Amino acid sequence: MPNLNAIKHYLTTAIWQENGPVRSKRITLLRGLLILFREASDPDLKYRAMGLVYTTLLSLAPLLAVSFSVLKAFGVHNQLMPLLLGVLEPFGEKGAELADQVIGYVENISIGVLGTAGLVFLLYTVVSLLSIIEECFNRIWRVEASRNWIHRSSDYMSVLLVGPVLTVSALGMMASMGNNALVQKMIALEPFGTAYYLAGLILPYLLIIAALTFLYIFMPNTRVNFGSALVGGIAAGLTWKIGGWLFGIFVEKSTSYNAIYSSFAIILLSMIWLYVSWLIVLLGGVVSFLYQYPRYLLHKNKRPYLSHRQQEYFGFLVLYLIGKAYREGGPPWTLHALADEIDQPWESVRQVLQCLNKAGFVIAIQSEPNAYLPSRDLETISLKEVYIRLRALDGQEQAAFRPENEEAVGALANRIEVAAMAVLEGQSLSDLIQPPARKTQDGPEAEER
């Protein structure tokens, strides 16, 4: 089938080579969908979603207990049931039964009688769940360092104490507005009645989008733009609602599960829905990341690969930018700033920086984040030495194998190497930043001044 082969070739190869401005939006969207499909098929993301299912089930009771106690202190704990019913809506009638069981279990937990050790363990379980969620988002955002325990405890506890109160209070206020006499009179009039009805339909979508947007901003240990988080929240929120509707249909048709698993069917279905939900939430984080850093849409692989020519070019470019900033007295470059400047993924720039650092051309300043400076005087950094080190970026140089009947090929390779060395002979990083022609040209002018 030539058509299928052509489509396969386009999706796997040709689309990643197109850079035309005419169809750039279509190509960008299609690349994004392909990357999402790649991420959804990635075992690492699947295993993390499975791990979050286990952690959620383990931490669900402590999490609800802490939230319930906070809501009870503010007198708004009665609004927790509608929130649970909204989350468990895909289970239909079974969702209401499950919500009743959860609320009954949580009400029986008395935090006051747990004691100091029990309370500490309860809070530790909740903080551990949030720290695992943070780690998953840090992986998506390529963040290597997580929050320390001091920041985790303060940030997480502030969310646990303030978040439930604001969310449930907003739900209670919106519900009480419907019982207000003035609001009822306005609803009786058009177009206010239709607008109120449409607001009731849209409100669940807005709440889930707002919650996911906050999650994408707060959880990664890096700065996330509000627009990027909102795009990810909209994508994940709408997908979650559509997935809930489809899962509800599946639950209605799954009579065979009840016959086989009996009372355990609701547990099995809840674990499946938790897995699907976490997978959607993590993929929404991928959407947010790609929207903020569209340069990752240019690469087919998750870890971008640099050719030898790109290694040499970006190696000289990074060294040039670091040396120029140092000579002009500007602020030193950081990894992310260099990636933004040359429009390349962090992994590629980090690979080049590690090579330059290991070779002794640049040093990393211990700051937050790390910044880079030339390790020695610019005149002493030989471009020929830099070229040799960049050629061996992927590993140690090995002697070339030259069969006797291919001496012509070996001679050609030697001529290419000699020509490259001749171009770089006697040049330093200082010459690259300010060529000798400019130095001699600027010299008389400086003397006249």
Q: Which amino acid is at 142?
A: R
The sign of the torsion formed by the CA atoms of 132, 134, 136, 138 equals negative
Closest CA to 402 of 412, 387, 392: 412
pLDDT at res. 394: 58
3-state secondary structure of 365: strand
pLDDT at res. 236: 93
HSE, CB side, 13 Å, CA atoms: give it for residue 171: 21
- Preceding peptide of 369 cis, ω within 30°: yes
Closest CA to 353 of 392, 383, 393: 393
Pairwise CA distance, residues 268 & 100, whole Å:
18
Instruction: Measure the CA angle with vertex 15, ends 14 and 17; round to 5°.
Output: 65
Distance spanning both ends of the chain, measured CA to CA: 75
The sign of the torsion formed by the CA atoms of 101, 103, 108, 109 equals positive
Pairwise CA distance, residues 39 & 45, whole Å:
7
Pairwise CA distance, residues 200 & 194, whole Å:
10
Pairwise CA distance, residues 189 & 180, whole Å:
15
3-state secondary structure of 180: coil
pTM, full prediction: 0.75
| Residues 326, 333 contacting (CB under 8 angstroms) | no
| Residues 350, 391 contacting (CB under 8 angstroms) | no
Fold of 308-396+411-439: Arc Repressor Mutant, subunit A (1.10.10)
- Preceding peptide of 191 cis, ω within 30°: yes
Pairwise CA distance, residues 192 & 177, whole Å:
14
Pairs from 171-176 (Cβ < 8 Å, separation ≥ 24): 171/79, 171/82, 171/83, 171/207, 172/76, 172/79, 174/203, 175/79, 175/82
- State the CB neighbour count (10 A cutoff) for residue 203: 14
Per-residue pLDDT of the chain (449 residues; tens, 9 = 90+): 457 888 777 777 777 776 654 457 778 888 888 888 888 888 888 888 888 888 887 777 677 666 666 666 655 556 666 666 666 776 666 667 777 776 676 666 665 555 566 667 767 777 778 888 888 999 999 887 777 777 777 777 777 666 665 565 555 555 555 555 655 566 566 665 666 556 666 777 888 888 889 889 988 988 899 999 999 999 999 998 888 888 878 777 766 655 555 566 677 778 888 899 999 999 999 999 999 988 888 877 777 777 788 888 999 999 999 999 999 988 999 988 998 888 888 888 888 898 899 988 999 887 777 899 999 999 999 999 999 888 876 554 555 555 555 678 878 888 888 888 888 888 888 988 887 655 545 544 444 43
pLDDT at res. 228: 94
pLDDT at res. 447: 42
Residue identified by tokens 């029990």 is 118
Closest CA to 433 of 344, 359, 325, 338: 325
Strands of 66-183, DSSP E: none
3-state secondary structure of 333: strand
What does DSSP say about strands 333-334 and 362-365: parallel, antiparallel, or unpaired? unpaired
| Residues 281, 211 contacting (CB under 8 angstroms) | no
Helix (H) or strand (E) holding 334: strand 333-334
pLDDT at res. 198: 62
Residue spans per domain, the chain = 1-35, 42-298, 308-396+411-439
Pairwise CA distance, residues 263 & 108, whole Å:
22
